[in-house]
Amino acid sequence: MKFVTWNVNGLRACLKKDFMDSFRKLDADIFAIQETKMQPEQAIIDLPNYRQFWNSAERKGYSGTAIFSKIEPTNVEYGIGSPDFDREGRSITLEFEKFFFINIYSPNSRVKVGNESSRLEYRCRWENLLREYLLELDSRKPIVLCGDLNVAHQPIDLKNPSANHHNSGFTKEEREEFAKLLNAGFIDAFRQKYPDKIGAYTWWSYLRHARESNAGWRIDYFITSKSIQNLIQDVKIHDEILGSDHCPVEIEIEI
């Protein structure tokens, strides 16, 4: 099976930038998107072979997740059971016979020197609740989690690690929380397949021609239960696909 994740940074804007062409070329069995920034009635997404699942934020034009699936799930859950986070439309869980598929858009911690609006504490609470949620699912059947997790785990996962130790997505706290997730029985599928690959990024700032110079970050992931790591065939970063400041990530897994 082929799964794809993509932070589209506003689906209505991405639809004007060849989203549907990219969607058709990737031809995923399950296609997860983050940062939809819309309610489902605000655009017509004509996908006759896919079932659509939307979790939009209460705040208009903000956050939001969606999943388009060729396969009918046995159950669907929106959120992780916490109103503080669930009102922001950050997760959708599809249950299938042999696995759970979870689409996640993690909060940005907004950490930057001099920034008094940091959400780092909020972000760490999210990490703890998410980990508990995933462990409960994993106790029943394996999980495949994907999405924009808003963290670069190791120095290899961003172009300029030395300049970003105190910035969102590369703080000590966020990286430690990500390590806790992996240590709880999960794997970073891309690093499992390509432990030493450098220059593999999924997000680039719109500033200073970052994408052209590949000054990026790898913050979009597929995370799976360790119990199914041998079923992973490949993980691909489609940095050739434009339309957002992120690019799609694909996993092929025999599940």
Q: Rounded distance, CA 86 to CA 79, Å?
A: 5
Counting as low any pLDDT under 70, the low residues of the chain are 112-117
- Where are the alpha helices (H) located in the chain, listed in sequence order? 11-15, 19-26, 83-86, 120-138, 172-183, 189-193
Model pTM above 0.85: yes
Task: Tell which residue, 167, 186, 69, has the closest CA to residue 127.
Answer: 186
Which strands, in side-by-side order, build the sheet including 249-253? 51-55, 65-69, 30-34, 2-7, 249-253, 232-237
- Structure tokens belonging to residue 190: 């891309």
Domain range for 226 is: 2-253
Long-range contacts, 207-216 (Cβ 8 Å, 24+): 211/245, 214/159, 214/239, 215/159, 215/160, 216/158, 216/159
Q: 232-251: per-residue pLDDT in tens? A: 999 999 999 999 999 999 99
Angstrom CA distances, 101 to 124, 134, 180, 181, 225, stand at 23, 11, 20, 16, 11
Query: Taking the chain, what is the end-to-end CA distance rounded to the nearest angstrom?
Result: 7
Q: 155-203: per-residue pLDDT in tens? A: 999 999 999 998 999 999 999 999 999 999 999 999 999 999 999 999 9
Q: What's the pLDDT score for residue 113?
A: 56
Give the chain's domain count. Answer: 1
> Which value, to the nearest 10 degrees, does the dihedral of the CA atoms of residues 78, 217, 176, 105 take?
-10
Q: What's the pLDDT score for residue 111?
A: 82
Q: What's the pLDDT score for residue 54?
A: 98
Q: Which of 50, 133, 138, 148 is catalytic?
A: 148
- For the chain, what's the residue count? 255
User: 105 an active-site residue?
Assistant: yes
List the CATH number of the domain containing 43: 3.60.10.10
Q: Which of 105, 133, 201, 221 is catalytic?
A: 105
User: 122 an active-site residue?
Assistant: no
